[in-house]
Amino acid sequence: MSSQMPVSEAYSACVLSCPDTCAYVVTVENGRVVRVRGDPRHPYTLGRCCPKGYPHVLRTYHQHRLRHPLSRNETGNFVRIAWDEALDETAEWMREAKKRYGPQSVGIYSGSGNDGMPPRLAARFANAFGCRMMPGIVEICFEGPYEGARSNVGPFPPHELSDCVDSQCIVIWGTDKFESSLHTKQVIQQAIDRGAKLIVMDPRRTPHAKMADTYTTIRPGTDAALALGIANEIIRRDLYDHDFVNKHVLVFEEYRTRAAEYDKERVSEITWVEPDTIEKIAVAFATHGPALTATAPAGMNHYTNGTWAARTVHSLLADGVEEPCLRQNASGHSETSWSEAWATG
């Protein structure tokens, strides 16, 4: 009788720190994962994974992967210890710190590279212990723009990324969706194939920049000024949706007054974007809808004014030419995406 276990398939998802959470079909042979491929049945990731996803097999069994606890000995070198010993030692240190200094003296850091269940379970553990999770990738990199967007509109209404296929004007603002967002790239391409205009603002000449109808570089860190300049052009030319503004926008007059300080010549000096280009972007955005603004929670957020830059870009919503959407990831969670904004105009 053969001692070999049968080949089987299991269903999983990519756990890297990436919101796409690609759905996987995992082939297991003799108790070992031998292949990972995208699950074509998933409606969002459609069987496509990026080059970071496919090598999960190598990552899992790599000889340098840490698979057991290590402890530093008297000579300063790491030596392998048993799991029980490591857990007892850690528990003792945490108990002692809690007794002497209180639970908040302990910090738990989950790092990045694994955005699956472990950080969530660690957060629940921290909650039960009474300490806090130390800021991780989400808090450091993403929370600023999320907060900026939430300040404008509160919780986001649901919207499928796939709806964005119907967009007629796509503004890619400071992000490389071509090389870093496999599934958004797909949707953008489908919209372009249906005749959508493509506008790209980016200090780098990205692949999407090369195929854009309008491309401009921008002085890094000046996104808020550009957003106000675009808003000013839309309002000045009376291209905004009055009905939407009357029904849904608070303090629009204050917003109009503030935006009016950012005429295209002044904005050009601040941002290095040509005045004609600012005008062209504003007109296309407001008149060639439905429009989609694709940004990222990184990029413009990595400046001291990042949260406000994100809020200002998101404020183009106040002109009634866009509304935010939710993106559904492969694990079925809904994640707020302040960045993919869907226009009604």
Closest to ligand SF4 by CB, 289 or 299: 299
Handedness of CA 123, 309, 329, 59 (dihedral sign): negative
Distance CA 229, CA 266 (A): 8
Q: Whose Cβ is closer to ligand SF4: residue 182's or residue 225's?
A: 182
Minimum distance of ligand SF4 from residue 311's CB (angstroms): 27
Helix runs in 102-176, H state only: 117-129, 137, 143-153
3-state DSSP assignment of residue 31 = coil
> Which C-beta is closer to ligand SF4: that of 14 or that of 133?
14
Least distance CB 43 / ligand SF4 (angstroms): 15
Torsion of CA 279, 281, 285, 288, to 10 degrees: 90
**54 versus 272: smaller Cβ distance to ligand SF4:** 54
- For ligand SF4, which is the closer residue by CB, 49 or 165? 49
Cβ 21 to ligand SF4 shortest distance, Å? 5
Question: DSSP secondary-structure letter at 302?
Answer: S
Shortest Cβ 206–ligand SF4 spacing (Å) = 17
- Closest approach, Cβ 181 to ligand SF4, in A, equals 8
Q: Which residue is nearest to ligand SF4 (CB)?
A: 53
Separation of alpha carbons 153 and 171, rounded Å? 20
- Using the minimum distance from each CB to ligand SF4, give the nearer residue, 44 or 215: 44
**Strand pairing of 169-173 and 291-294?**
parallel
Largest CA distance in the chain: 83
Residue type, 125: F
Q: How many CA atoms lie within 13 A of 328 on its CB side?
A: 14
What is d(CA 189, CA 161) in angstroms, rounded to the nearest whole number?
13
Determine the Cα angle at 343 with ends 167 and 176, to 5°: 60
Residue 164 C-beta: closest distance to ligand SF4, Å: 17
Chain residues that interact with ligand SF4, rule: CB under 6 A: 14, 16, 18, 20-22, 49-50, 52-53, 182
Residue 243: Cβ-neighbour burial (10 angstroms; 0-12, 13-18, 19+): exposed
26/212 with CB nearer ligand SF4:
26
Cα 316 from Cα 323, distance rounded (Å)? 9
Residues 107 and 93: their CA atoms lie apart, in Å, by 12
- Comparing CB distances to ligand SF4, the nearer of 53 and 306 is 53
Least gap, CB of 213 to ligand SF4 (angstroms) = 27
Least distance in Å: CB of 186 to ligand SF4?
Answer: 11
